[in-house]
Amino acid sequence: MLAYTIKRLLQGVITVWFIATATFFGMHAVPGDPLAADKEVPPEIWANLQARYGLDKPVPEQYVIYLGNMLKGDFGISYTQQNREVNDIIAEHFKVSATLGILAIVFAAFGGILWGALTALYRNRAPDIVIVFLVILGISVPSFVFAALGQLGVVNINNALGFTLFPVAGWGTVQHMIVPSMVLGLGTMAFLTRLMRSSMLEIANSDFIRTARSKGLPATRVFRKHQLRNAILPVVTVLGPSIAAITTGGFVVEMVFAIPGLGRYFVQAVQQLDYTVIMGTTVFYGAFLVFMVILVDLVYGLIDPRVRLE
């Protein structure tokens, strides 16, 4: 177990290093200059700006300097937010993205399990057909549509009520968090519903359910103790990667609801060629994803002893 953990962690470190290297050279291969602005500046000022950000050195040398700083945990200063360190940006904004992501995943997990179990229970009858239709909608409609519709819905509800039930946008209070996290979790919830449904149906036909029934257990008990519990396992398995995906994929929702999350920086930095923020957010998110996957593997081994860790 320990050897396995160490091996996985080492692999993770190499993966992160690879991500950092690929991003660094890919980023420098993109045409355009991070310091370019609407107004051209005289060559002398240009040279000074380049020197300030160390862009006057050859790219391989910049890479070595960059790796050195990264090992020290220093991602440098943003090009666009010129007074802010990338470390501060990540620290201040990731907690918002994480909040949004955790809520969305809780919402998606409980929703997915509930709806999935319900559809399995009412297989091929009206509730099943309606929910499965909604699930297909949830998987295929992109999140910016849900975000815009959700916001418009909130405006209309507030107007109809005459007071603010849910804020239209912004961040900070519990009310601010509910609508965006539901919108963000919708796609994952739809996916989990499908997963739960098929998992439930598969288990309904397994031998141990038949055994439980034939020995006279009450149907309710069979459902809860045997079917539901076992059906949840595959859902739990995909939760880890889902957490990472949701936390990193909130860009659109953050934009529409004016939420100060990290996703915004992650995307805008690429558009603005903000080198330090691109590197900082990519390496951070990469490490986060790698860590989540390792964590799920390890936890899965603990939960289900049949999974051999080697």
Least distance to other proteins, CB of residue 57, Å: 16
Least distance to other proteins, CB of residue 274, Å: 9
When the beta carbons of 117 and 244 are compared against other proteins, the nearer one is 117
Least distance to other proteins, CB of residue 137, Å: 18
Check binding of 113 to other proteins (CB under 8 A): yes
- What is the distance between the terminal CA atoms of the chain, rounded to a whole angstrom? 8
| Separation between Cα atoms, residue 56 and residue 45, nearest integer Å | 13
When the beta carbons of 245 and 258 are compared against other proteins, the nearer one is 258
When the beta carbons of 146 and 257 are compared against other proteins, the nearer one is 257
Among 10, 25, 64, 95, binds other proteins (CB under 8 A): 95
Half-sphere exposure of 117 (CA within 13 A, CB side): 15
Q: Report helix, strand or coil for 85.
A: strand
Least distance to other proteins, CB of residue 148, Å: 7
- Interaction residues for other proteins, span 275-304 (CB under 8 A): none
Binding string, residues 257-276; x marks residues near other proteins by CB under 8 A: xx-x---xx-----xxx---
Q: How many residues bind other proteins (CB under 8 A)?
A: 91
Asked whether the beta carbons of 24 and 283 are under 8 A apart, the reply is no
When the beta carbons of 31 and 305 are compared against other proteins, the nearer one is 31
Phi, psi of 77 (to 5 degrees): -110, 140
- Interaction residues for other proteins, span 175-214 (CB under 8 A): 176-178, 194-195, 198-199, 201-202, 204-205, 210, 213-214
Least distance to other proteins, CB of residue 115, Å: 9
Among 52, 57, 136, 299, binds other proteins (CB under 8 A): 52
Residue 293, classified by CB atoms within 10 Å of its CB into exposed (0-12), middle (13-18) or buried (19+), is middle
Asked whether the beta carbons of 203 and 230 are under 8 A apart, the reply is yes
Report the candidate in 268, 262, 238, 240 with the shortest Cα–Cα distance to residue 250: 262
Among 173, 215, 305, 306, binds other proteins (CB under 8 A): 173
Q: Which residues contact 207 (CB under 8 A, 6 or more apart)?
A: none
List helix spans (H) across the chain: 2-29, 43-52, 59-71, 86-121, 126-140, 143-161, 174-204, 207-214, 219-221, 229-248, 251-256, 262-271, 275-303
Binding string, residues 222-261; x marks residues near other proteins by CB under 8 A: -xx---x-----x--------------------xxxx-x-
Q: Report helix, strand or coil for 259.
A: coil
Least distance to other proteins, CB of residue 166, Å: 10
